[in-house]
């Protein structure tokens, strides 16, 4: 039982440590995501970056709010019909200086530079686009989650909620651990009390047996002493009869004389 409780305690400690590590990791990722998105308008991890569509230029393939995953690839992997990420250099557009995603409609002689067009736009882009990567995945569901997690207030809320959850888990584990320890102590105390009671009953029984043996031995001694003080009546009668016969013989001998 004690070994089992000790194992449970170790498991609870390991789970607590894992929970803290996960919370710290998630908090770090969230903070990095928020800062990166605030500075660049997107978040990048290694060779991948994540973007939320802000305009209708790529509908119906990419709607406003969709999350697009962009991967850095060699320019040789980009062909007509691919959707690429690039920094808008057309000062006449409201998205000037920002990163946007449009479709490649023509290759150029300059490596990494392409003519692009928004699917929903009637005309191609006025300025050639230098590719920063190629779109490899689109998700409408994750777009909302990503937008939520790139807001400072939401990040603080999520981290705070995570902290509350971790604290709650700690408290629950602590209560369960204490309850288990208390139960183990009670069981241990009960076993100890049972052992003490058994030992007490055993000693009382031995005392009773010893007392009975002493009483019996005392009675035997008394009987032996009485026997020594008062010889057997039958033996006494026989002895008296023998003495009487001897006396009779002596009297007859005297008469004859």
- Residue of 195 and 114 predicted with greater confidence: 114
Write out 21-76 in H/E/C secondary structure: HHHHHHHHHHHHHHHHHHHHCCEEECCEEEEECCCCCCCCCCCCCCEEEEECCCHH
Full-prediction pTM beyond 0.75?
no
Bigger pLDDT: 135 vs 16: 135
Q: Give residue-wise pLDDT tens across range 45-56.
A: 788 888 888 889
Which tops the pLDDT comparison, 60 or 151? Answer: 60
Chain segment 132-186, per-residue pLDDT in tens: 999 999 998 888 777 777 776 766 777 777 777 777 777 777 777 777 777 777 7
Please choose, from the candidates 59, 158, 188, 160, the residue with its C-alpha nearest in 3D space to the C-alpha of residue 118: 59
Confidence of residue 198 (pLDDT cuts 50, 70, 90): confident
Least Cα distance to 61 among 118, 109, 144 occurs for 118
What is the length of the chain?
257
* pLDDT surpasses 60 at 12: yes
Q: In the prediction, which pLDDT does 37 show? A: 65
pLDDT (tens digit, 9 = 90+) per residue, 69-93?
A: 999 999 989 999 999 999 999 888 8
pLDDT in tens, 238-255: 666 666 666 665 565 555
CA–CA separation, 130 vs 86, rounded Å?
Answer: 6
Position 36 scores a pLDDT of 66
So what's the pLDDT on residue 226?
63
Q: Does 200 have pLDDT greater than 70?
A: yes
Q: What is the pLDDT of residue 233?
A: 55
Give me the helices (H) in the chain, please. 2-40, 141-149, 152-229, 233-256
- Ordered by start, the domain boundaries in the chain are 1-40+151-246, 41-150
Average pLDDT rounded to a whole number, residues 30-45: 68
Other C-beta atoms lying within 10 Å of the C-beta of residue 37: 20
- Class of the CATH-defined domain 41-150: mainly beta
């Amino acid at each position: 039982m004690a070994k089992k409780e000790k194992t449970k305690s170790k498991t609870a400690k390991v789970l607590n440590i894992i929970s803290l590590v996960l919370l710290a990791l998630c908090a770090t990722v969230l903070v990095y995501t928020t800062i990166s998105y605030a500075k660049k308008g997107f978040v990048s991890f290694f060779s991948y970056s994540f973007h939320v569509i802000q305009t209708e230029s790529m509908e119906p393939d990419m709607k406003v709010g969709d999350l697009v995953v962009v991967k850095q690839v060699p320019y040789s992997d980009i062909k007509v019909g691919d959707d690429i990420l690039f920094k808008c250099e057309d000062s006449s557009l409201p998205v000037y200086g920002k990163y946007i995603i449009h479709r490649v409609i023509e290759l150029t002689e300059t490596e990494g530079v392409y003519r692009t067009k928004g699917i929903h736009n009637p005309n191609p882009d006025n300025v050639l686009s230098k590719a920063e990567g190629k779109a490899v995945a689109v998700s409408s569901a994750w777009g909302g989650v990503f937008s939520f997690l790139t807001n400072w207030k939401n990040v603080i809320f999520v981290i705070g909620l995570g902290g509350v959850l971790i604290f709650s888990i700690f408290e629950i584990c602590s209560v369960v651990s204490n309850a288990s320890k208390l139960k183990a102590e009670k069981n241990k105390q009960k076993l100890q009390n049972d052992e003490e009671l058994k030992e007490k009953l055993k000693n009382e029984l031995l005392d009773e047996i010893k007392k009975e043996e002493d009483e019996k031995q005392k009675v035997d001694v008394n009987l032996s002493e009485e026997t020594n003080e008062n010889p057997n009546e039958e033996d006494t009668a026989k002895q008296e009869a023998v003495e009487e016969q001897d006396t009779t013989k002596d009297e007859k001998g005297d008469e004859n004389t």
